[in-house]
Amino acid sequence: MAESSATRPGARLRPVGDSATPQAGGSATTGGALYDLGYQRYTGKRLDRANAVRTLFAFSLRTAFGLGRGARSKAIPSIILAVVFIPAIVSVGAASTTGFSALISYDNHLQFTSFLIALFAAAQAPELIVTDRQYGVLTLYLARPLTGVLYALAKLGALVAAMMVLTFGPQLVLFLGKVFIAVSPWAAFKDEWTVLGPLILGTLTVSCFIGSVAMAIASFGGRRAYASASVIGFFLLVPAAATVVRSLATGETKRYLILAHPIEVINGFAKWIFHIEAKRRTAVGRADLPGSYYFAVMLAVIVVATTVLLLRYRRNEV
C-alpha cells in the first residue's frame, strides 16, 4: 500500500525514523525502505457551489441509467432504452433498405414514448430522491455546501435530462434517417430542419411534465417501492378518473374535461406542436380545443409540481 502510493508522481516522501542518520546501504533509491507518507493537506483549488450542483446533476444522470451501480439498477433503464430506440432504428433501417420512406411520424413517436417515460419516471424518480432519504445520504448532501432547493433542482434536472435522452434521442434517429435516406440529404435537411425546434420543445415539455409530477409525488415517499407505486398509480388513476368523469359530462364541459386527462393532454400537445390535424374520431379531434390549451395545462402542471418539490426541500432539513 505504501509502495503503490509512493509511485504517484508528486508525492514527497520521508523515510521513517531520523532522516539525518545515514543508514548503511539503506538509501531511498535502493528500495526496501519504509515510507510514511503521513497526511497530506489539500491546498489546491476548491470549486464553488455551482460545481456541486453540476456534480450532483451528472452523478444523478448516471444513476438514472444505472451507470456506476449494480447490475440490477441497470435492468429497467436498459429495457426502456431498447423499447424507445428499437422502433426508430428499425423504421429507419427498413426505410433505407426498401426505399419506402414511411417512417414513424414524430407525433406518434412522442405519444408512444410518453407512456414509456412515465414508467421510467416512476422507477427512477424514487431511485434519485427517495433512496437518498431512505438510506440517509441526504444528510451528507445537506452537510455540504448545497441547499435543499439546489439539491432538488439538480435531481429534477437529471431526471428530465435522462427523459430527454429517451424522447429526443429516438426522434433524432428518425430525423437523421429522413435526411440521409433521401436522394439528396442536403435538400432533405433544408426541408426538414424546421422540425428540430418543435422536436426539442416538444420532448422537453413532455419530459418536464411527466418528470416534475413524478418527482413531486416521490418527494413524499419514505420508501422506494411505495413511491414508485404512487407515481404509477397517479398516471393510471388520473386518466381513468378523467375518462369516467368525461363520460358522464355533456356539451362544453365534456370538451374541456379532456384537459384533466394527462395522456390526452400529451396527445393534443403533440398534434399542436407538430402542426398536425387531429383525426376526427380521436378524443383530441372530437374535443377540438385550441392546441395552446394543452400546452398551457402542461406548463401549469410543471410549475405546480416543481413548486411542491422545492417546498419539500426548502427547509434544508432531513
Partner 1 sequence: MGPGSRIYSRSPPTHPDSSKLSLISTRDLTKSFSDSVLALDNLTLDAEPGIIGFVGANGAGKTTFIRILLGLLPPTSGSASVLDMDVRGDQMAIRRSVGYMPENDCLPIDVSGADFVAHMGRMSGLPFQAARERAAEMLRHVGLHEERYRLIGGYSTGMKQRVKLAQALVHDPKLLLLDEPTNGLDPAGREDMLALIARTGTEFGISVLVTSHLLGEIERVCEQLIAIDGGKLRYNGPVSAFTELTERLVVELDDDIPELAPALRSRGLDVDGTTTLLRITVRDETTYDVIRDTAAEHGAAIARMQLTRHKLEELFRDQVGAHG
Rule CB under 8 A: which residues touch partner 1?
1, 5, 8-12, 14, 38-49, 51-52, 55-56, 59, 68-70, 72-73, 131-132, 135-137, 139-146, 316-318
Comparing C-alpha atoms, which of 262, 266, 210 is closest to residue 241?
A: 262
Task: Please tell me what DSSP assigns to residue 128.
Answer: I
Quote the least distance from Cβ 6 to partner 1, whole Å: 12
Q: Cβ neighbours of residue 292 under 8 Å, at least 6 residues apart?
A: 272
CB of 283 to partner 1, least distance (A): 42
Least Å distance between CB 215 and partner 1? 18
* Closest CB to partner 1 among residues 145, 233: 145
Q: C-alpha cell of 287?
A: 374535443
Give whichever of 5 and 23 is closer to partner 1, judged by the CB atom: 5
- Which grid cell is 15? 523515510
Work out how close the CB of 27 gets to partner 1 at its nearest, in angstroms, rounded to a whole number. 17
* 77 vs 170 by CB, closer to partner 1: 77
Residue 190 beta carbon to partner 1: minimum distance, rounded to whole angstroms: 41
Compare residues 10 and 251 and give the one whose CB is closer to partner 1: 10
Q: Which helix (H) or strand (E) holds 155?
A: helix 148-181
Q: Which amino acid is at 60?
A: S
How far is CA 300 from its chain centroid? Answer: 20
d(CA 311, CA 206) in angstroms, rounded, equals 22
Indicate the residue among 45 and 281 with the shorter CB distance to partner 1: 45
Residue closer to partner 1, measured from CB, 51 or 253: 51
Angle (nearest 5°) at CA 160 between 156 and 164? 170
Q: How far is the CB of 41 from partner 1 (least distance, A)?
A: 5
Contact (Cβ atoms closer than 8 angstroms) between residue 258 and residue 265:
yes
Q: Which 8-state DSSP code applies to residue 129? A: I
